[in-house]
Structure 1
Amino acid sequence: MLDVKRALAAARAPERTHTLPLSTPWGDALAAAGDDAEVLPEHPRPTLERASYTMLNGWWDYAFVPTGRADASPLDLAGALALVSTAAPPATFAGRIRVPFSPEAPLSGVRRTLTPGELLWYRRRVSAPARGAHDRIILHVDAVDWVAAIRVNGRLAATHAGGYLPFELDVTPYLNDGTGADADGTFLIEVCVYDPSDAGMQPRGKQRLHPGGIWYTAQSGIWQSVWLEVVPAAHLTALSCRGAADGTLAVEALARVAEPLGADAALALDLAVFDAEGTRVLDARLPFDARPATAPAPSLAQLAAAMGAPALGTAPARRLRATLALDTPRLWSPAEPYLYRVEAALIAGAAPCTADGAASAHAAAEPDRVRSYAAFRTVHVERDGAGTPRFFLNGKPLLLKGVLDQGYWPDGLMTAPADAALVHDIEAARASGFNLLRKHLKVERARWYYHCDRMGMLVCQDAVQGGSAYNLWHTSRKPTVFSATWRRYRDDIPHHRVALSSDDARYQLEWTATCADMVRHLAGHPSIVAWSLFNEGMGQFDACAAAELVHTIDPTRPLDAASGWYDQHCGDVYSHHNYFRPLTAPRDRGRLKGYARERGFRAFLLSEFGGWAQPVDGHRFSDAVYGYGDFASPAAWRAAVRASLAEAEALAPHGLAGYVYTQLSDVEDEANGILTYDRRVNKLATPDDAEGAGA
């Protein structure tokens, strides 16, 4: 039965009138270190790590510039790409911004919101790293929100779309006409960004220009690390090593070949796998496909190219897909997150004879050497001995005990102020009894997944939602009151798509490409055990088609096609959000669709519940408090949280396969976290150690 009183209280978020100064210990340390402080200096990509790199985090010049458009309406992807590609850099810059913190974040030093009628410009002159005659200099940008154009020494080098995924650019052709850096050994990087936030339709997660309640401060621009690498002319751009419990190791790699080797140069990958004691347990030489690779559709790069975006500064990619086998592997699990070290070398040598029998003149090149890691584990949904659908890890049923993780920080917004801050949150979740984090409507930086991999924290990864302005009746109030609509509201009917803010075909294309790219990008992380595609009907459309696509790209992980409500009878999970009713584990009724129909059952997941609010004086972000429940004391709040967790766990014998409690930390107005927003207080800890449990 619906708790009407609490549901009505939650229907309207209190209005925020002012915010309060709040920072994390890591943000304080960064600010205290001054201008020369190292900002997130760790290698940003542990799954493809070279011996050296040059971090470009730190101070850049910035400027906010009007778009100059008479029409103030937000641009779609095609219009945004055209705008940033043709915009001229400003004559003057306003000041300095600390990259990679967005201008809206306090740690950026700017604290200014980018509006839909503006462009955000970055500029920095950097020293060119030393390189050999045929080496390439690669610029990495790990995330910029939303559409960006990159200029090198004043020339347009590339554009990028997608606010949550990394990209890279070979800048070598733009360095003094390709012969080297400028006379002083430096070159100029300029980045132009357009981001309409929730005024547009693009995937944006929880960002909103007018935040409050469950919606958070919009951010824009560069918000993850920027860095350089020197690589050989033939070099790896992606490497994924996914091990299964039977010892199978699936290896996928992408490589690019620049001159002087030529596109027809023969490529092979020398792969060696070592156990934790350093013993080599597997090695092989794996050939690349001789033909240039085309990204499996859809991809954001293909979508942008179809809209006229310049695809400059990159050579055609080559692909490798191979399967190896390891006898009796040590398996990865939360109790023993065993990782194997991987060393790989891309070998580029003489190409085969040409069609007329002449030998190729391409000479062998220095190999591109990288380090990575792999784990062996298998996750799937299966019936247990009693016939109940469960999550199985390595052939054994496992109750998922999850907590919702938004990944927001008061001083860095979506950018954690330090690598140690990421570790802190994972450790806090584990110490509180959880074995899974649901990364909510955000793609995190690569090091977060690495820490989950090495620490044994399971991850359910959300796709990032978008669409036009959300209809509160359809995304919140109707499903809260009328739970019968959860299984009866189709998302493939045109007027239903209007209600779910997903009727625009341009949004559908971009969301689909973004989701597919996310799955491919994160596929190599063993900690990720499930994908979640749509959340609470926001921007939802054709969930069954999306489930089939993701299952085709990655058949090794279960997925939740529609988290919360508006289930479409597909995927691996029957998923409920339950904040205002007694917790239950209902049977999955109805005819299943897609690949789920072939199996005949799905697991039941309580994918959100709880949300009990308990603000802590001195650790609040604003004067508004949003959450569920009203408790007389912190002790009463702790009792309610523990009772809710026990109530959920008690459903396991009755069909519950897993749960996700809301949430790990407070976020802005939401005071329903186990940790305070500044991470200084663990509210679930006992009074004696609560103040010291944060950091």
Structure 2
Amino acid sequence: MKKLKTRWTDQVLEHPDQVLAEYPRPSMRRESYVNLNGYWDYVITGKGKRPERYAGRILVPFSPEAPLSGVERSLHPSQVLWYRRMLPGEVERRSGRRWLLHFGAVDQFAAVYVNKRLAKKHLGGYLPFSVDVTDFLRKGENELIVGVRDFTDQSYYSRGKQKLQRGGMFYTAQSGIWQTVWMEEVSEAHVDRLKITPLYDEKMVEVTVCCADRGQVSVAVSSEETQPWEVEGEANEPIRIPVPRMHPWTPEDPFLYFLSVTFGEDRVDSYFAMRKISVSLDAEGIPRTFLNGRPYFQRGVLDQGYWPDGLYTAPCDEALEFDIREMKRLGFNMLRKHIKIEPERWYYHCDRLGMLVWQDMVCGGRPYRKWYVTYLANGLEKFHIRMTDRTYGLLGRKEEKGRQQFVEEMKETIRLLWNHPSIVTWVLFNEGWGQFDAKEVTRLAREMDPSRLIDQASGWFDQGGGDFRSIHNYFFKLRFWREERVQALTEFGGFCWRCREHSMSGKVYGYRIYGSKKELSAGYGQLIKEVASHIGEGLSVTIYTQLSDVEEEVNGIYTYDREILKIDENVLKEWNEKCSI
């Protein structure tokens, strides 16, 4: 495939010491921050072999498969990818202080060594992990080594849309460190996590300061409209704080409050928003999504989060913002983050810029039976025939360990992203890929987070639960049945136009092919006109496929390099204005 650059590629390569240097965890900031991105030593060995020497340099946090890494080499399931660097001199042991080492995400299994001693093992390619390395440090130089294995689609582990043999709707597999690596120094007794829950109807916010130790905490709240006010409470206990003259958060007015927590010598800064997402009946008795107590039509775009130069990793923070800002400028108010968990800064930008988020869980499992999961299920969906998801073997979920891992990662995803007001819906399963026991999984998700909505099964293999009848429609005439749940068109369109100079592949994958921007824009307009005609019947959510091209899939609103807007912006804006309740 042809290499593609983005407008940010060269600036990353010109300043490798500044790659993704922004503070990676905006929901819990400290003054202490040591960024470990940049060039590391690397080598790929066989399984069970420890490196005696290294092959070259890799630019972290870009995967070895990504052009920006400088390696452009695939990691196979039988191999181990080794990283090595020395820790900065400022990382040294001090009385009463601890050093925490954080990894945003490492795909898929990681073993972390400090000065040749094993400090941490972690399984799961999409979730962050941390380790207290204080007791492993010594005077002088300190060596950090990370060994990584990635089974991609050769096991039941979560992998998203990665495939060793890419093609069509499945993309280049990536591996290793793909989010920021960083360190912070904390006091012996410190805050581990914040859980912030807006209680919209009560005009209060509930803050739980999670710590290993007990003790008193102080929570200060402020905003651009109010003077700070402070409340004291106990660590690990919910603290309810009134929010006078409450200013609600919406995509049109993304108002944020600021929050500071003090626990002993430790201080962390955060933020929150006052918003409520719910399902209620409108004036005609139709179930709709409501935002802050009012009907709110969600106009969304499917967002895969792939980049031609960085694969899973955006080249820079500005690039992360670009996708959000552009979709907002074109009139969309929601992004469905598709089978991927982004770095936390992406959600922070959605919070502050005003973009609703539907967050997919990352799918896994063994290869599913395509005739059953794709063709038969899609055909029967036309007739509203519901298929069971307890056929574990056909759905690629035969291993109980794989099912358990999915549930644990779902819970950890909810914990990780809890504080972000932009997230309004959890999407548990997509088109039957690795789906199982959706009713029970929905119950667990609802029990853990009753404040957000749930799309139980996006596309097909709907088990009748969750808040949505979630429809994928690429081929058939759109039809609705009266439902107690919200009617949501969670994937549709996928119209293609290949911009030759801005495409990686000569192959074209999509659902309807056009020869020019003019033809594509006209086709899009006609499609949205037909879709909009169903709003009166109960349609409350639309999610167009998709934000940008990805490799062979050239059905994006933007080209893969984010250079060409392929659909006329006036057409996009006009129909987004018309699609409302």
Q: 2:447 aligns with which of 552, 558, 563?
A: 552
SS at match of 1:156: strand
Q: Secondary structure at the match of 1:421?
A: helix
Q: Which moved more, 1:270-279 or 1:421-430?
A: 270-279
Asked whether the 8 Å contact 1:486–1:567 carries over to 2, the reply is no
2:420 corresponding residue in structure 1: 525
Question: Is 2:58 the counterpart of 1:97?
Answer: yes
- Would you say the 8 A contact 1:107–1:412 is kept in 2? yes
Q: In structure 1, what is the equivalent of residue 87 of structure 2?
A: 126
Pair 1:222-2:177 in alignment: yes
SS at the partner of 2:392?
helix
Residues 537 and 486 (structure 1), Cα distance of their counterparts in 2 relative to 1, 3 Å cut = farther
Q: Paired residue for 1:462?
A: 360
1:273 corresponds in structure 2 to 221
8 Å CA contact 1:487–1:566 kept in 2: the answer is: no
* Separation in 1, partners of 2:121, 2:210: 20
State the alpha-carbon separation in 2 of the partners of residues 387 and 320 from structure 1. 40
Q: Structure 1 CA distance, aligned partners of 2:105 and 2:569?
A: 38
- Deviations along 1:290-315, one digit per CA (max 9) or x if unpaired, are xxxxxxxxxxxxxxxxxxxxxxxxxx
Larger mean CA deviation between 149-158 and 623-632 belongs to 623-632
Give unmatched runs, 5+ long, in structure 2.
573-581
Query: What are the within-5 Å matches in structure 2 for residues 453-602 of structure 1?
Result: 453-483=351-381, 487-492=385-390, 496-588=391-483, 601-602=484-485
* 1:583 maps to amino acid: L
1:370 CA drift (Å)? 1.1
Q: Which amino acid aligns with 2:519?
A: A
How far does residue 529 in structure 1 lie from its aligned partner after superposition? Answer: 0.5
1:191-247 CA-partner distances (Å, limit 9, x unpaired): 111111001111110000000000000011100000010111111121132213221
Post-superposition Cα deviations, 1:238-290, rounded to whole Å, max 9, x if no partner, equal: 11322132212121332235xxxxxxxx422211010124621x4211212xx
Q: Is the 8 A contact 1:241 1:250 kept in 2?
A: yes
Shift of 1:109: 0.5
Give, as a single letter, the amino acid of the residue that structure 2 aligns with 1:273: V
Answer yes or no: is the 8 Å Cα contact 1:339–1:373 preserved in 2: yes
Instruction: Write the mapping of 1:661-676 to structure 2, written as runs, cut at 5 A.
Output: 661-676=544-559
Change (3 A) 1:153 1:130: closer
Q: 1:296 aligns to what?
A: none
Q: Which residue of 2 aligns with 1:138?
A: 100
TM-score by length of 1: 0.80
User: Max radius of gyration: which structure?
Assistant: 1
Write out aligned runs for 1:605-684 (5 A): 605-684=488-567
SS of residue matched to 2:135? helix
3-state SS in 2 of match to 1:137: strand
Q: Name the structure 2 match of 1:252.
A: 208
Paired letter, 1:135: R
Instruction: Give distance in 2, aligned partners of 1:345 and 1:464.
Output: 35
- 1-side partners of 2:134 and 2:430: how far apart? 42
Are 2:377 and 2:387, in contact at CA under 8 Å, matched by a contact in 1?
no
Indicate conservation of the 8 Å contact 1:486/1:565, yes or no: no
- The answer to whether the 8 A contact 1:487-1:565 is kept is no
Q: Secondary structure at the match of 1:429?
A: helix
Q: Over residues 456-496 of structure 1, what are the superposed CA-to-partner deviations in whole Å (9 max), with x where a residue is unaligned?
A: 1000000000000122112211133332576421112xxx1
- Report the Cα distance in structure 2 between the residues aligned to 1:29 and 1:560, rounded to whole angstroms: 39
In the alignment, structure 1 residue 47 sits paired with structure 2 residue 27 = yes
Amino acid paired to 1:279: Q
For the pair 1:442 / 2:340, whether they are aligned, the reply is: yes
- More divergent stretch after superposition (667-676 vs 20-29): 20-29
8 A contact 2:517–2:568 mirrored in 1:
no
Q: Following the alignment from structure 1 to structure 2, what is the Cα–Cα distance between the partners of residues 622 and 161?
A: 33
TM superposition shift of 1:321: 2.9
Corresponding residue for residue 283 of structure 1? 230
Of 334, 340, 344, 2:251 maps to 334
Measured against aligned partners, the alpha-carbon deviations of 1:16-51 in whole angstroms (never above 9, x if no partner) come to xxx0120111112212x15x4410000000000011
Residue in 2 that maps onto 1:196 = 151
* Aligned mates of 2:454, 2:23 — CA distance in 1: 30
Amino acid at match of 2:216: A
Among candidates 106, 112, 124, match of residue 67 of structure 2: 106
The answer to which of 438-447 and 159-168 deviates more is: 159-168
CA distance in 2 between partners of 1:545 and 1:659 (Å):
26
Distance in 2, matches of 1:686 and 1:445, equals 29
CA distance in 2, matches of 1:45, 1:130: 20
Aligned partner of 2:112 in structure 1 is: 150
Whichever residue aligns with residue 245 of structure 1, its letter is Y
Kept in 1, the 8 Å contact 2:521–2:571? The answer is no
After TM superposition, the structure 1 = structure 2 runs for residues 331-410 of structure 1, keeping only pairs within 5 Å, are 331-347=248-264, 367-410=265-308
Q: Is the 8 A contact 1:44 1:446 kept in 2?
A: yes
Q: How do 1:312-327 residues align onto structure 2 when only pairs under 5 Å count?
A: 319-327=236-244
The TM-score with structure 2 as length reference comes to: 0.95
Cα separation, 1, equivalents of 2:74 and 2:336: 28
| Residue pair 2:302, 2:543 contacting (<8 A) in 1 also | yes
Q: Distance between the aligned counterparts of 2:372 and 2:558, measured in 1?
A: 31
SS of the aligned residue for 2:512 comes to coil
- Call closer, same or farther: CA 1:586–1:144 in 2, change over 3 Å: same
Aligned residues: 570
Residue identity matched to 2:260: E
- CA gap 1:279/1:462 in 2 versus in 1, 3 angstroms: same
- Per the TM alignment, residue 647 of structure 1 is displaced from its structure 2 partner at its CA by 2.4
SS in 1 for 2:191: strand
What is the CA–CA distance in structure 2 between the aligned matches of 1:632 and 1:92, rounded to whole Å? Answer: 52
Q: What secondary structure does 1:60 align onto?
A: strand
3-state DSSP of counterpart to 2:101: strand
* TM-align CA RMSD: 1.7
Q: Tell me the residue number matched to 2:12.
A: 30
The superposition leaves residues 675-695 of structure 1 with CA deviations (integer Å, 9 ceiling, x where unpaired) of 100001111235999xxxxxx
CA-to-aligned-CA distance 1:48-83 (integer Å, 9 cap, x gap)? 001130100000111111115xxxxxxxxxxxxxxx
- Is the partner of 1:498 in helix, strand or coil? coil
Between the aligned partners of 1:402 and 1:631, the Cα distance in structure 2 is 22
Match for residue 164 of structure 1? 126
Change in Cα spacing, 1:272 to 1:688, as seen in structure 2 (3 Å) is: closer
Give secondary structure in 1 for the equivalent of 2:25.
coil
Gap change, CA 1:633 and 1:236, over 3 Å in 2: same
Identity rate of aligned residues, in percent?
43
| Contact 1:139–1:226 (8 Å) recurs in 2 | yes
Does the 8 Å CA contact 1:485/1:566 hold for their aligned counterparts? no
Aligned partner letter, 1:423: E
Per the alignment, residue 309 of structure 1 pairs with: none
1:129–1:230: 8 Å Cα contact kept in structure 2? Answer: no
Structure 1 regions of 5+ residues with no counterpart? 1-18, 69-87, 177-181, 258-265, 289-318, 348-366, 589-600, 690-695
What do residues 114-136 of structure 1 show as CA deviations (whole Å, max 9, x unaligned)?
A: 10111111111112426642111
Q: Give the conservation status (yes or no) of the 8 Å contact 1:479–1:486.
A: no
